[in-house]
Amino acid sequence: MKKILVANRGEIALRVMKTCRKLGIKTVAVYSEADRNALHVEYADEAVFLGPAPSSQSYLKGDIIIAKAKALGVDGIHPGYGFLSENAGFAQSVVDAGMKFIGPTPHAINIMGSKISAKEAVKAYGIPMVPGMDKAIVSLEEANKIAEMVGYPILIKASAGGGGKGMRIVNQASELAEQMERAQSEALAYFSDSSVFIEKFIGSPRHIEIQVLADQHGNVVYLFERECSIQRRHQKLIEEAPSVIVTPEIRAAMGKAACDVARSVNYEGAGTVEFLMDHHLNFYFLEMNTRLQVEHPVTEMITGLDLVECQINVAEGKPLEFQQSDLNINGHAIELRICSEDPLQNFLPAVGFLKKFELPEIPNVRLDSGFKSGMDIPIHYDPMLAKLIVHGANRTDAINLLIQAIDSFVVEGVPTTLDFGKFVLEHPNFISGQFDTNFIKNHFKPEDIKNKLDESREIAALFSVWHQTNALDKVKEMN
């Protein structure tokens, strides 16, 4: 491929373009009215305007994107993550237009896009599943039978869902009718599909995912695991690789299961198989994300691979250049998502003018961002400003390095999750590895950060007074 259009915006668009430039591939950016002056537009070799700021009128206009790509002689389209990245119809349209879709086949996207069809696809491989029903529930009577069979508490989940949408916990039978109706309504509103299914609710799980990579020649490998249990409202905030609780034996078992999930749909390219892990270290298949993940940099840090380059190579039909036995874990990596959200106000999203957004260069620290000082933060898109990623010789080194990077980061204009990230990294339960997806609910209170900030300001004020007094004393001595 000589020219690739990146059907996305912000940091992921820039991330893909940087690898393309390294490979000598020309890039085309797409942009909305709100992103006319965005960094990904400035960085690309060419850029095309899509439409107004709302994504429904710009970044989700697949037909316009394909038409623009054809007119510019594009060879392939990389969808990044979000937007059209898991849209099987868009992937098929790209292929039908004579271009490469840099991702899995439309068939794989379609099957794994539904949690019900995904469970059905992997059945033959003996993948561990959470107890429950892996088909759509159509009546309250059927839901009652399944709930009694698996035992309360249960989880009602949208088949086409993600990010906690269309998901309801039911603790007892008297709640079932109301919660099922709510789950179905939300699933229909967010995914245009009211299908839901029921499984046993695992109360305090770890969220562990396995990065897989597959080519068009039947080769599949796993690139180890990522720990993604620090979440708020089912959205990840801190990810690390490897996980502190995964043993070599469990890693091998999870890796095999993840590769089998990929084989079940003849997967091609980079994908992520997500698992829940209970307190006995039993793991259960959750879903497969048929795209590059936000947290892919931590995998790149510990393996030395460029996953975007791997995606492009696979799309071009090249076989993988390595086998499972060639892959090793090197050190430890942690990623903090820097979001324009206020942790003191229940992570309320914030928009505004980014007066300062500066990180000094620190060895083994990587910043993936679509923002810089002097830019406006648009209201129309995800509030993530950047990803701060570090790599250390071990987990302790990585934690300390990320704290140093947070302390060195200067942000003015909007509240961010930087202070929250530092709170987590310094918390005894995170340091010891004793945490799960309920970390924020169990350990975080907004006043914890407020008290820390007040303490820091007080120390700074005292130091300033001491410094001024000391300077005056020296002047007196000189006189």
Residue 217 CA to residue 212 CA, distance in Å, equals 15
Residue with tokens 């849209």: 87
Dihedral sign computed on CA atoms, order 250, 251, 254, 260: negative
Q: Which are the contacts of 243, defined by CB distance < 8 A and separation ≥ 6?
A: 206, 208, 225, 226, 227
- Cβ atoms of 285 and 264 within 8 Å: the answer is no
Q: Is 457 marked active-site? A: no
Distance of alpha carbon 401 from alpha carbon 465, whole angstroms: 30
Phi and psi dihedrals of 221, rounded to 5? -130, 160
- In the numeric block, the tokens 């698996």 are attached to 150
**CA nearest to 383, candidates 17, 52, 56, 11:** 11
Write the burial class of residue 223 (CB in 10 Å: 0-12 exposed, 13-18 middle, 19+ buried).
buried
User: Which residue among 15, 168, 291, 395 is the active-site one?
Assistant: 291
Query: Which among 239, 258, 255 is positioned nearest to 247, based on CA atoms?
Result: 255
Ramachandran sector of residue 160 (left: φ over 0; alpha: ψ -120 to 50; beta: rest): alpha
Residue 384: both structure tokens together: 């993530």
Q: Would you please indicate which residues are annotated as catalytic (active-site) residues?
A: 291
